[in-house]
A and B are shown apart, each in its own frame.
Chain A
Amino acid sequence: MDFSYTILILLIPFFVFLFTGLWGNKFKPVYSGILGTTGLGIAWILSLLTAYKYFFVIEKVSETFPKIIVFRQVWLVLTDKLHIDIGILLDPISVMMLVVVTTVSFMVHLYSIGYMEGERGFHRFFAFLSLFSFSMLGLVIASNIFQMYIFWELVGVSSFLLIGFYYQKPSAVAASKKAFIVTRFADLGFLIGILIVSYYTKTFDFYANSAIPGSIGIVEPAGIAILQSAGAAFMGISIITLAMVLIFIGGAGKSAMFPLHIWLPDAMEGPTPVSALIHAATMVVAGVFLVARMFPVFYASHTALQVVAYVGSFTSLFAAVIACTQFDIKRVLAFSTLSQLGYMMVALGVSGYGGEEGVGYMASMFHLFTHAMFKALLFLGAGAVIHAVHSNYSYDMGGLRKYLPITHITFLIAVIAISGIPPLAGFWSKDEILVAAHGNNMMIFYTQLFVAGLTAFYMSRLYFLIFWNKDTHYHHTPHESPLTMTIPLMFLATATIFVGMHWVIPFSKLVTSDGKPLETIMHMGIAIPSVVVGALGILIAAIFYMKETAIPDKISTSLNGFYTTIYNKFYFDEMYLFVTKKIIFNLISRPIAWFDRQVIDGFMNAIAWSTQEVSERIKGLQSGQLQQYAYVFVSGAILLALVFVFMWTK
């Protein structure tokens, strides 16, 4: 089976980016949008074709989906054995990610034509979107960890550029800077992790290159054995745990896990389609994808896996609590994203490897897949609402169901899906996660069950605040968005309804930890409580917010200090600002700045100053009097002649 065309999935967005970036301003703006959308549409079709061929046509090797390396090219040779390659790796998770990224990206492109209409820098926006799609696709099909790291940084840059799209708004500039610095800081951990791993295994490849005898891959048993036998590094932490925790720090930065979560809510300063694409469906799941990609190695280190599970669990609870108090609808969705990413991390953290044990891994990828659909839908729906009302705040909204029927229905579908009500997508994947957690760690299981209730509550709260609640009087009657915006909504809503069902996409047969199909059974003892908790959340939200009532205000007043703390996100931003501004800037940066200004700059300035002083003193010699020069010259010549005459004799 020939998969060589998969390189086109990468190259089309790249060339679209080059074209719109370089010449987009020469044409009418809408052409950039059409070009970008068409390019992504082709990539989407190719991805679907790849997925179909990979999952349903090719022969399995001993019941397992094979790992196909479409091509591999040596790029940088570091030593005889260690070299950085550029390649394309197809395995179940990368094929699944191809579908997720191209689907959401295509929908967001289409949506943006309507949403961004008339904005300054329309073609710039589409160029950046294409750049992001290219980078994200490169990340998921990377055949070695270094290539992944390169694309990892590229998505970081695209995210930076798109968050700061409204570069005349100081808050957007600050948000893009914050996102970039926080993720860069985390990527440092990732880089050190890569260096440790490659130092011991002498390779960057995930899987061995069959063309070279004796080559090994990092995530294969041989590579894991080397890492495990590497022993302890310092303070009794083994090398493998250290390396995996460092790599997880990179993943936690991108996926905005606690305590590196601070950048994601601020990233909502970017245009809403960007939030849907980058900060909900694709880039932020790169961290989850990274852990899944390295999963066999993580599994070899129990401690690292525990870290993943607890960090994920805490983040999901923490973010869900904050989401209940926010009024900026995009921020509610941002915290919801954090919470759901926590779910995915938890699922990986509690997972085993292979067979029934690997249900957590499957659940994590499944949740990633369904979450991409309904969270993109929620963001695009929120974008349509913002487009109609020109405000981000839920207290400016209310009663919108009469004005925005399509947005209302699609948003409702997404809310039900994320709340985990069957038979929509979110139920199936969340249920698998709870099953996995139940089999591993009861504390995490109860936490996640509680978070499921919270999720249902804050999402329904958002829904009721926007579409029900009070009948706000609007200056301009809000009207439904154009077709380019509602078609993606309707498509994603359809996907949200169906992708979870087993007869539509038999997910557990396709994407599993060891590549073998997995039989999943409904555990009624888990499914029923989770549905009840979800329904309870929706019910409470309905009582509080469906009509304008005084209950929420009463509760928030009675909780007073506690409520304010949550509303201000537990003052984490303030804490970080205190640490950076008061401690790091004053105690570290200032002395360094002083040293730079006084010692290093001072040394250079002294050289320049002394040169100038000396030349100032001696420039009088250049009097411009020709005969004076001649006089000095002749005297010198005579002097030399005399020296020669009298010294020569010896």
Chain B
Amino acid sequence: MIGGIPLTHFLIVSTIMFFVGIYGFITRRNLITILMSIELILNSTNINFVVFNKLLYPDQIAGQMFSVFVIAVAAAEAAVAIAIIINLYRRIANIEVENVNEMKY
């Protein structure tokens, strides 16, 4: 119980977010949307970090620190990813993920 809400509720929310992210990552064709799906996956884990920290060690903030760190890394990653996507757009004039198969064997 955290603030009157049972633990399972938190976990259900984060699990739904996680699989929505996975589903989006696998099915979406637009690279920007795929990037957004990754953000969803990351944030679902962030919820888990915070919740378990609050549940197990209420007087420590290691979990919160970790989620802040994940957010920072995600921001950096998004910047790199968008840079790649822009370059890709200049090269092949679209951002469909099926068309990005240069890196095969």
Instruction: Identify the 3 closest CB pairs spanning chains A and B, nearest first.
Output: A624-B104, A624-B101, A619-B105
Q: Are B105 and A622 in contact (CB under 8 A)?
A: yes
Q: Are B26 and A624 in contact (CB under 8 A)?
A: no
A-B contact pairs, 13 of them (CB 8 A): A620-B105, A622-B104, A622-B105, A624-B101, A624-B102, A624-B104, A624-B105, A625-B101, A626-B34, A626-B100, A627-B26, A631-B26, A634-B22
Q: How many residues from A make CB contacts under 8 Å with B?
A: 11
A contact residues around B98 at 8 Å (CB): 625
**In this assembly, does A77 line the interface, its C-beta being within 8 Å of a C-beta of chain B?**
no
CB closest chain-A residue, reference B27: A627
Q: Are A623 and B97 in contact (CB under 8 A)?
A: no
Q: How many residues from B make CB contacts under 8 Å with A?
A: 13
Interface centre among B27, B103, B105 (most CB of A within 10 A): B105
Q: Are A627 and B97 in contact (CB under 8 A)?
A: yes
Residues of A543-557 contacting chain B, CB below 8 A: none
**In this assembly, does A630 line the interface, its C-beta being within 8 Å of a C-beta of chain B?**
yes
Q: How distant is A54 from chain B, measured CB to nearest CB, in Å?
A: 78
Q: Which residues of B contact A (CB under 8 A)?
A: 22, 25-27, 34, 97-98, 100-105
Cα distance A625–B101 when bound, in Å? 6
Q: Are A634 and B26 in contact (CB under 8 A)?
A: yes
Cα distance A560–B97 when bound, in Å? 94
Inter-chain pairs besides A624-B105, A625-B98, 18 sampled, C-beta below 8 Å: A619-B105, A622-B104, A622-B105, A623-B101, A623-B104, A624-B101, A624-B102, A624-B104, A625-B97, A626-B34, A626-B97, A626-B100, A627-B25, A627-B26, A627-B27, A627-B97, A630-B26, A634-B22
Q: How distant is A617 from chain B, measured CB to nearest CB, in Å?
A: 12
A contact residues around B105 at 8 Å (CB): 619-620, 622, 624
Cα distance A631–B34 when bound, in Å? 13
A contact residues around B26 at 8 Å (CB): 627, 630-631, 634
B contact residues around A626 at 8 Å (CB): 34, 97, 100
Q: How distant is A613 from chain B, measured CB to nearest CB, in Å?
A: 15
Q: Are B25 and A624 in contact (CB under 8 A)?
A: no
B contact residues around A619 at 8 Å (CB): 105
CB closest chain-A residue, reference B19: A634
Identify B25's interface contact among A620, A623, A625, A630, CB under 8 A.
A630
Cα distance A624–B105 when bound, in Å? 8
Cα distance A619–B105 when bound, in Å? 6
Cα distance A620–B103 when bound, in Å? 12
A contact residues around B102 at 8 Å (CB): 624
Q: Are B22 and A624 in contact (CB under 8 A)?
A: no
A contact residues around B97 at 8 Å (CB): 625-627
B contact residues around A631 at 8 Å (CB): 26
Cα distance A646–B56 when bound, in Å? 26
A contact residues around B100 at 8 Å (CB): 624, 626
CB closest chain-A residue, reference B100: A626
B contact residues around A623 at 8 Å (CB): 101, 104
Residues of A608-647 contacting chain B, CB below 8 A: 619-620, 622-627, 630-631, 634
Residues of A53-69 contacting chain B, CB below 8 A: none
B contact residues around A622 at 8 Å (CB): 104-105
A contact residues around B25 at 8 Å (CB): 627, 630
Cα distance A623–B102 when bound, in Å? 9
Q: How distant is B77 from chain A, measured CB to nearest CB, in Å?
A: 15
Cα distance A625–B25 when bound, in Å? 12
Cα distance A625–B27 when bound, in Å? 12
A contact residues around B34 at 8 Å (CB): 626
CB closest chain-B residue, reference A638: B22
Cα distance A625–B104 when bound, in Å? 8
CB closest chain-A residue, reference B37: A630
Cα distance A18–B104 when bound, in Å? 55
A contact residues around B27 at 8 Å (CB): 627
Q: How distant is A310 from chain B, measured CB to nearest CB, in Å?
A: 75
Residues of A487-501 contacting chain B, CB below 8 A: none
Q: How distant is B18 from chain A, measured CB to nearest CB, in Å?
A: 11
- Contact digits for A78-112, partner B, Cβ 8 Å, 1 yes 0 no: 00000000000000000000000000000000000
Interface centre among A620, A625, A626, A634 (most CB of B within 10 A): A626
CB closest chain-A residue, reference B28: A627
Cα distance A623–B26 when bound, in Å? 15
